[in-house]
Amino acid sequence: MRRATLWIVVLSACAMAVAGCGGSSHRVTITTAPSTLAAGASSNVVAVTSHDSSDQINWSCAPAGACGSFDPAQTPSGTASLYTAPTSAPSGGSVMITATSMDHSSRSDTVTVAITGVAAQNFVFSATGEENDEVGDIYSIAGVVAIALDGSGTVVGGEQDFNDGDGNTSPQPSGDTITGGSLVMAGDGSGNAILTLITNNANLGVGGTETFAVVFANANHALIVQFDGSATSSGSMDLQSATTAPVGSFAFTVSGTDGDGGLVDFGGVFAFDSSGNVTGFFDENDAGAVTTGTAVPAGATVSAPDSFGRGVASGTTGGDSSFNYYVVGPEVVRVINVDLTATALGSAYGQGTSAGTFSSGSIGASVFSVANSGDLYAGVGEFSTPVVAATVKRNTKSHIPQAGSPCSGADVSCSFSGVADVNELGGPLLPAQAFTGSFSISAVGNGFITVDGGDLGDIITLGVYAVDPTLNILDPNDTTDSTGGALIAEMDPNLVGTGSLIPQSSNIDPADFFGPYAFGAQGDTDAFDDEFDFIGAGTVDDTGAFSGVGALSDPFAALTDGGQDNAATFTGTAVADESNSGRFTIDPLTINANGDTEGLDVTVYEANASQFVWIQMDPDGYFSGSLEASTAFNADAAKRAQAKAKTKKH
């Protein structure tokens, strides 16, 4: 009897609840949708239901069969579906998107989306460097550009944020709108290109138009340099594979300047829940003052991204700091600070299913690269497979590995040894420095590398933040090359900078440095400590001869006689270091640009057959960057580049 009575009560309550919520007050409202979308482009759509948070939304559109698609076609209330526009504009030039309650099919909402006639792909770009203003401010830029897929290279839209923390910050919260522009590929098939972005912000670039020199390593990934003389910077541009909010654990690093005008870097691990709440911790180096393990302040949040995958992160590093983020893919996000008195740029990479299960064994033999053009230094190097160096540091109940065994276990201290090149402009210049050290990684994926032997100058302690072992840090859309590794951030009193650890292949060979590459670098010279940047495409032949053509941005005449030259040539011969496998020298790397010829002493380290990092090792200048195997380059272009280089040389 008691059970029967209880069922009656429960059923009555349910009936009343259903009646209460199923009345005329139940509504469906589309809260996020684009008003205009390029044919073939994708954008988030979100709808919410009132009174019934468990209700689902069914997505549909008209005209049927020519209106695009939804992924997924059914979502919980408040959850985004990725709408992809049809590949050509339908009759009438627009589609109607309808969100319908699954539980109350008479309840729906609609929006009309104008479809522009050109299918487009979105690319996320970001770069940091030196502004060519009165003071040479450090600045950051990040955004999304939609480029037509019809082969015209037309820029059909986009948005971005620019920030120098010194009076030139894109208006918030809107950012800048990219209203047009073009991507013009070089005619030689080298993968070089010029990207022009017309913005609605006359304070940027030249009268609101920004120009970037670009080199594609493949169809989904490029290195970029701002190239219009208004500023110079280096960064990357990657195909946007998702626009949904980040969820899960992410490792991140950012660097820039803070409100006091001092250099600052951060590194840490954040977790984003499905409501946009942020928890985690960060380490911080505020112009030499290091604090570690600071909890993310309560209340830190990220907003849902807009149709271009741009959202706002608030309160993540304390105070009233504001970051905007741009989604590259489900596990990769670029972040840019948009405070009026600070500037910073960085990335967050997902930790995937490894979140919470990292260990010191997560970091193996690696190539590292760390730099900061604001702090005028770079260091690159490699270290070998770690072995257990000491006892377990924290959890004494866990297994204690024997010294000399492969290193594994959370918080286990592992030793390593390696070789590196460090150039602190005006300070230590340290080629081929043997070094030793130790590190440990927690289950969360963070830890510290400490150099305790050899001389890496002021590089002593680095914060380490492990990423999803299936992610490619340099090229997030390519998982065929080396994956995994970690982001790193200086936690030294003498240096501020960020970089990455890329796993080093166990079978590297000098013969690997062969074939076509996209390359880029950012550097400074001691001519007033100003910056230069370059990108290019080139080849290395079986004799080690390196020959490339690209774009040099040198508005301050730091390296050459000054200016922007998109027919710069790069030649040299790579020589394998017989004492240090994976290390090469190019001395000189001859850069011919702006009517000037400069010979630079360069060192290259191999992470794997497709990914290399390099550093300039001259006392009056340095650069650092990467060389990435290119599928966007053809042999004919190589021959033309070589012929051009020879012509210029003689």
Partner 1 sequence: MKWRFSALGPLVLALCVFALPLHAQTSDTTKPVVRLRYDITQEMTFTGTVSSVVKETARETKKAGASHVIVQTTSGKVEADLGRYAMRGQGALTVTPGQSIQLTGVMKTVRGQQVVIARLVQANGKVYKIRNEHGFVYQPAARKNQTKSATKGGQL
What are the two backbone dihedrals, phi and then psi, of residue 571, each rounded to the nearest 5 degrees?
-135, 155
Contact track, partner 1, 588-627, x by CB under 8 A: -------------------------------xx-------
The least distance separating partner 1 from the CB of residue 135, rounded to whole angstroms, comes to 3
Instruction: Please identify, using beta-carbon distances, which residue of 189 and 454 lies nearer to partner 1.
Output: 454
The least distance separating partner 1 from the CB of residue 267, rounded to whole angstroms, comes to 10
The least distance separating partner 1 from the CB of residue 423, rounded to whole angstroms, comes to 14
Instruction: Please identify, using beta-carbon distances, which residue of 37 and 231 lies nearer to partner 1.
Output: 231
Instruction: Please identify, using beta-carbon distances, which residue of 283 and 421 lies nearer to partner 1.
Output: 283
Q: Check: CB of residue 128 under 8 Å from CB of residue 140.
A: yes
Q: Which of residues 112-141 bind partner 1 (CB under 8 A)?
A: 134-138
DSSP letter at 35 equals S
Name the amino acid, one letter, at 564.
Answer: Q
Distance CA 455, CA 378 (A): 14
Q: Which of residues 338-367 bind partner 1 (CB under 8 A)?
A: 339, 341-342, 344, 353, 355-356
Instruction: Please identify, using beta-carbon distances, which residue of 186 and 269 lies nearer to partner 1.
Output: 269
Q: Check: CB of residue 607 under 8 Å from CB of residue 367.
A: yes
Contact track, partner 1, 464-483, x by CB under 8 A: --------------------
The single residue among 321, 369, 505, 608 that binds partner 1, judged by CB under 8 A, is: 321
The single residue among 189, 330, 431, 493 that binds partner 1, judged by CB under 8 A, is: 493
Q: Which of residues 268-307 bind partner 1 (CB under 8 A)?
A: 268-271, 273, 279-295
The single residue among 36, 244, 494, 631 that binds partner 1, judged by CB under 8 A, is: 494
Question: Which tokens go with 275?
Answer: 């409501």
Q: Which of residues 558-587 bind partner 1 (CB under 8 A)?
A: 558
Distance CA 150, CA 155 (A): 11
> Using CA of residue 278, residue 30, residue 80, residue 25, what is the dihedral sign?
positive
Instruction: Note whether 425 binds partner 1 by CB under 8 A.
Output: yes
Q: Which of residues 376-395 bind partner 1 (CB under 8 A)?
A: 376, 394
- Choose the stretch contacting partner 1; rule: CB under 8 A; options: 71-79, 234-242, 485-493, 501-509: 485-493
Q: Check: CB of residue 482 under 8 Å from CB of residue 446.
A: no
Query: Angle CA(233)–CA(611)–CA(598) in degrees, nearest 5?
Result: 50
How far CA 69 is from CA of 43, 95, 156, 357, in Å, comes to 11, 11, 21, 37
Place of tokens 């991204």: 305
Q: Check: CB of residue 350 under 8 Å from CB of residue 358.
A: no
Report which secondary-structure segment, H or E, holds 19: helix 2-21
Instruction: Please identify, using beta-carbon distances, which residue of 426 and 588 lies nearer to partner 1.
Output: 426
Instruction: Please identify, using beta-carbon distances, which residue of 25 and 54 lies nearer to partner 1.
Output: 54
The least distance separating partner 1 from the CB of residue 256, rounded to whole angstroms, comes to 7
Residues ≥6 apart with Cβ < 8 Å to 314: 300, 301, 302, 303, 321, 322, 323
Task: Using CB under 8 A, count the residues that bind partner 1.
Answer: 98
Instruction: Please identify, using beta-carbon distances, which residue of 150 and 526 lies nearer to partner 1.
Output: 526
Helix (H, G, I), strand (E, B) or coil at 644: helix
The least distance separating partner 1 from the CB of residue 278, rounded to whole angstroms, comes to 10
The least distance separating partner 1 from the CB of residue 601, rounded to whole angstroms, comes to 16
Can you name the residues that pair with 250 across neighbouring β-strands? 270, 350
Instruction: Please identify, using beta-carbon distances, which residue of 558 and 593 lies nearer to partner 1.
Output: 558
Instruction: Note whether 458 binds partner 1 by CB under 8 A.
Output: yes
Question: Which tokens go with 509?
Answer: 């060979």
Helix (H, G, I), strand (E, B) or coil at 510: helix
Q: Which of residues 50-109 bind partner 1 (CB under 8 A)?
A: none
Q: Which of these, 430, 381, 426, lies nearest to 524 by C-alpha position?
A: 426
Torsion of Cα atoms, 545 then 549 then 554 then 557, to 10°: 60
402 burial (CB, 10 Å; 0-12 / 13-18 / 19+) is exposed
Instruction: Please identify, using beta-carbon distances, which residue of 94 and 359 lies nearer to partner 1.
Output: 359
Instruction: Please identify, using beta-carbon distances, which residue of 326 and 519 lies nearer to partner 1.
Output: 326
Q: Which of residues 11-30 bind partner 1 (CB under 8 A)?
A: none
Q: Which of residues 514-553 bind partner 1 (CB under 8 A)?
A: 524-530
Instruction: Please identify, using beta-carbon distances, which residue of 529 and 577 lies nearer to partner 1.
Output: 529
Contact track, partner 1, 160-199, x by CB under 8 A: -----xxx--------------------------------
- Choose the stretch contacting partner 1; rule: CB under 8 A; options: 182-190, 445-453, 474-482, 624-632: 445-453
> Using CA of residue 344, residue 290, residue 489, residue 240, what is the dihedral sign?
negative
Q: Check: CB of residue 115 under 8 Å from CB of residue 146.
A: no
Helix (H, G, I), strand (E, B) or coil at 188: coil
Q: Which of residues 241-270 bind partner 1 (CB under 8 A)?
A: 248-249, 254, 256-264, 266, 268-270
